[in-house]
Chains A and B, each alone.
Chain A
């Protein structure tokens, strides 16, 4: 874990390739976003701009739910901030590795940090890969798929049937599960993970949007911090 960290073209390519399977799932999700954006009345340019600038699927879908005329600008921006607060935890968890890289590269790469690229990068770095460009590469793959899918969804409108019938929605869960297996260090992880699961499930029932990720992550990690299992 204390290995030298690099930032190479090879690392970026490794990330780009690793992200391909999940990018298919993200693409299916992006098509759904494009279809709904069109139904909501966003032009292709507006939907594509949102996907290119915000690049955070859940918050974009939530925004569509609030998208009425006249636009509630403040509510849209605040809601987006809240839905995406989980990124703060994710970014903090990458600090031990990224801190050794030039700031410009880190801040550029972090633009492309989404749930999937974060999880894959974490897996690569804890596995001893040691290349920070993995985040940029995996994020860029997802970015391209996300933008393309948004466009397809906007243009195809109602023609697309439910992409979940191909099991693509499970791709996210499967990737996160496989990465979690790699993080398992022993029984000390059990209680923090259980706390995270219970809080996340409860929050997903009682709170809207993506609060459950932030709250479950906080609960589980705090239990971990106070157990000092290692």
Chain B
């Protein structure tokens, strides 16, 4: 028995064609709405480069950040950058964004909360969980990772450096760089200064190396902060701990 409409039924089913066209029109309209917010593409760690770019542009409205010593950072290999942090100042995020711009490489930071909706948003900016295995994974993959020292109230003091996270750098054999950040609450200027690679004082075979390296990094950051000097207003404000990255 011949069936002349056989192929037509296989290739062009009118109902399917109509629903596909309707779906594609609706999807295109929805995509156009979403496109205004971002491209929504993410890398292996969930970082969205378009959102990072937008955040950098937004940050530039408030801060004019000068980055020094970025040429010390490796061009391709991974590295851990430890910065001084002020309480509630989001220093690691700002530093990571500034270094992203200076190095033209994706720079991630430690300290993402794991709860929606803040956690997923911070992940899109390049946030990693505060876990040694998470940091080690990123460093092993050749990523630049910024971690903050324990937050301090005073902008010219550095807090304790978490030796567990420094241990991730030791385990993956990547360089650890101290970095100091400073900003003025009354102007737009901010500065990130990356120091030379930190090395432990003596060779160790056991876990002592991460403790000594953390101490060495802390000391180097303090030295960098001392060299940066403070933003002076010439008023009694200088006596108050008001200056610092994002602390205005």
B is a partner of A: no
